[in-house]
Amino acid sequence: MKFYETIVIGSGPAGMVGATILGQHGVKTLLLDENDFIGGQLVKQTHKFFGDHAHYASLRGFEIAQKLQDGISSNSNVEVENAATVMGIYPNNTVTYIQNGKKCKAYGKKLLITTGAMEKQLPFVNSDLPGVYGAGAIQTLMNEYGIMPGSRFMIIGSGNIGLILAYQLIQAGAKVRAIVEALGKIGGYAVHANKIKRLGVPILLNHTIVKAIGDKSVSGAVIAEIDDKFKPITGTERELVVDTIAISVGLTPLTELSEQAGCKVEFIPELGGYVPIRNERMKTTNPDVFIAGDLASIEEATTAMIEGKIASLEMVQELTGKDLEKEIENEITILALFRSGPKSVKIRSGLEKMGIKNLAISKPRINEPKEDIVGKLRAVLECDEEIPCNSCEVSCPFGAIYIGENLNSTPVLDPDKCTGCGTCVNACPGLAIFMLKEDVENRMALVGIPYELLPLPVKGQKMWAMNKNGDYVCDVTVERVVKYPNKTHLVYAKIPIEFSQSVRHFSFIKKESPIICRCEEVTLDEIENTIDSGITDFEELKRLTRVTMGPCGGKNCKLVVLGILSRKTGVSISNLSQGTSRPPVKPVEFSAFLKCGDDK
């Protein structure tokens, strides 16, 4: 039997921070984890994290894991046991685990359980086929072991995990056919969703998967629209050709060890399901047992780290008699600040059910934009959702971006102070900042786009400019590429000034011609060939190709078609005729005219 003052079970962000704090205060600590190396879910996360810089905002997950690992490895009071699978917790805080095929025992005066959560499953026909994975399993295969489980993916669930997985798959060269979401709104952060949409991935709301298609493995999937009772609507079924289905419908805490330790567990859906009851200092109904991270509530890595710190500080105080009240209260306030935004409403409600009152924190504010300066190279902030992050504000060396005390507030740019350096673009975890400079006289604009895909474009390369929904807008030539060590590069290109607020991605030119008019399925090649034949009038182009004559009446494609015409003829869009708008402006049934009578 090994004896320790504290035993930490689980080495994710909460466990690593907790073990580090305990060790720093001279508490002899054992850190147990079933994996071959510590880091938890962080080691397979390649995206940059939100939050503040005190909690590693703008660093990628695996970079955060390395920093936390370094803090533990330099701490002589913390003993790490990897590949140690905890079997159970027995009376007197006795922890048993298997390591190298042998059963081991350890005793701790206090326990910190940070076992995290597991992915929820979704029942559907043929869900047992090879090719159906949890989102986390795909991240493990792809980002830890370099194994791509498929080439054409469909993702079920539009929470942050599903959105992040879609982006990581595209970065790895895979195709994501669609993200399917049962609710009528996207579950994750808007900035994550926007990254996916401008890469051309559709997010299908009010849809679900009906069944997976295949004999020995997945070869497709049937999806359908659902009603307000989440039942598939007959006649709306359609097939997607995919070879991999990723399930990302949420997480549920792993409570088994806390239950064995005698902690009271209750079902609180706002926190993720069954969770151990605890107080604001992370102490459970067993006074020797503390919890933190996703075991306590399904949230972000930042809140897990703060909870790990709160729990460990309270444990140190009880074990050593040190007065750490001010530090603990400060961390509780910081945690309340992170949870003060609208995205944490459910968490606050769940905590209240547990008897934990939420601190009164000033509400995040939507800051009023300042007057823009057209013609100056400056940042464009497209982050209007109240999420806990101030990376742009902290990164700006000139104080041009303001968020304020509550980091859930929306950022606002002062164009007078902005020098166009692009530092904020590189720092933004949501890729929600772009660079813009208009040349009004020549009707052109220089746009700088954050770029995290391979291969990286080079100066002089021809590319397609894509809009916020991943649709073709116009051809561009790369003006310059600014490389950064953290792999969020800046690619600049000139575009017609009319598209300065719509172009948000540069794509390599594909062999197949993109569809410009989706209603009439008119491609770029068809439009260009018609113009090359001598047709330079928009109305003629419209009659010959049927562009803008579909159900949307040109709302989606008219400006793009005018941009193509402008590029091919050299005439500015502002000097081109946009054609004549004719009724009806929206599709109506012919029966409506019959009911009006002959004289109407």
Q: What is the three-state SS of 534-551?
A: CCCCHHHHHHHHCCCCCC
Buried b (16+ CB within 10 A) or exposed e, 295-320: bbbbbbbbbbbbbbbbbbbbbbbbbe
Residue with tokens 């080079």: 458
Choose among 261, 319, 286: nearest CA to 88: 261
Exposed (0-12), middle (13-18) or buried (19+): which is 45, by Cβ within 10 Å? buried
Predicted confidence band of residue 409 (pLDDT cuts 50, 70, 90): very high
Is residue 265 in some structural domain?
Answer: yes
User: Do 44 and 92 belong to one domain?
Assistant: yes
pLDDT tens per residue, range 463-492: 999 999 999 999 999 999 999 999 999 999
Amino acid at 324: L
User: Do 322 and 308 belong to one domain?
Assistant: yes
* Helix ranges, 496-557 (H): 524-532, 538-545
Is residue 392 in some structural domain?
Answer: no
507-525 average pLDDT score: 90
> CB neighbours of 551 closer than 8 A, spacing ≥ 6?
519, 587
% of the chain exceeding 70 in pLDDT: 99
User: Do 32 and 95 belong to one domain?
Assistant: yes
SS3 253: strand
Residue that wins the pLDDT comparison between 5 and 579: 5
Is residue 317 in some structural domain?
Answer: yes
User: Do 227 and 261 belong to one domain?
Assistant: no
User: Do 34 and 148 belong to one domain?
Assistant: no
Is residue 593 in some structural domain?
Answer: no
Is residue 394 in some structural domain?
Answer: no
Query: How many domains does the chain contain in total?
Result: 2
Residue with tokens 């979401």: 181
Q: What CA–CA distance (Å, rounded) separates 89 from 112?
A: 12
CB atoms within 10 A of CB 365: 15
- Segments forming the whole domain that contains residue 172: 121-249
Q: Are strands 85-90 and 94-99 parallel, antiparallel or unpaired?
A: antiparallel
User: Do 56 and 125 belong to one domain?
Assistant: no
User: Do 188 and 258 belong to one domain?
Assistant: no
Predicted pLDDT of residue 598? 56
Instruction: Assess whether the previous peptide bond of 455 is cis (omega < 30° from 0).
Output: yes
Residue with tokens 């567990």: 265
Q: Are strands 152-156 and 273-276 parallel, antiparallel or unpaired?
A: unpaired
Domain boundary among 330, 353, 376: 353
* Contact call for residues 89 and 111 (beta carbons, < 8 A): yes
pLDDT tens per residue, range 347-396: 999 999 999 998 989 889 888 889 999 999 999 999 999 999 999 999 99
The CATH number for 315's domain is 3.50.50.60
Q: Which of 143-147, 580-584, 590-594 has the lowest mean pLDDT?
A: 590-594
Is residue 47 in some structural domain?
Answer: yes
Amino acid at 312: S
* Contact call for residues 299 and 376 (beta carbons, < 8 A): no
Residue 117, beta-bridge partner list: 253
User: Do 197 and 228 belong to one domain?
Assistant: yes
User: Do 298 and 226 belong to one domain?
Assistant: no
Predicted pLDDT of residue 32? 98
Domain boundary among 249, 273, 294: 249
Q: What CA–CA distance (Å, rounded) separates 358 from 356?
A: 6
Buried b (16+ CB within 10 A) or exposed e, 13-23: bbbbbbbbbbb
pLDDT tens per residue, range 119-128: 999 999 999 9
Domain boundary among 321, 353, 385: 353
pLDDT tens per residue, range 179-200: 999 999 999 999 999 999 999 9
* Contact call for residues 149 and 138 (beta carbons, < 8 A): yes
User: Do 96 and 168 belong to one domain?
Assistant: no
Predicted confidence band of residue 56 (pLDDT cuts 50, 70, 90): very high
Predicted confidence band of residue 596 (pLDDT cuts 50, 70, 90): low
Is residue 533 in some structural domain?
Answer: no
Is residue 146 in some structural domain?
Answer: yes
Predicted pLDDT of residue 587? 80
pLDDT tens per residue, range 15-49: 999 999 999 999 999 999 999 999 999 999 999 99
User: Do 93 and 159 belong to one domain?
Assistant: no
User: Do 235 and 207 belong to one domain?
Assistant: yes
Q: What CA–CA distance (Å, rounded) separates 47 from 366?
A: 26
Structure tokens at 458: 């080079």
Predicted pLDDT of residue 145? 94
Structure tokens at 209: 């998967």
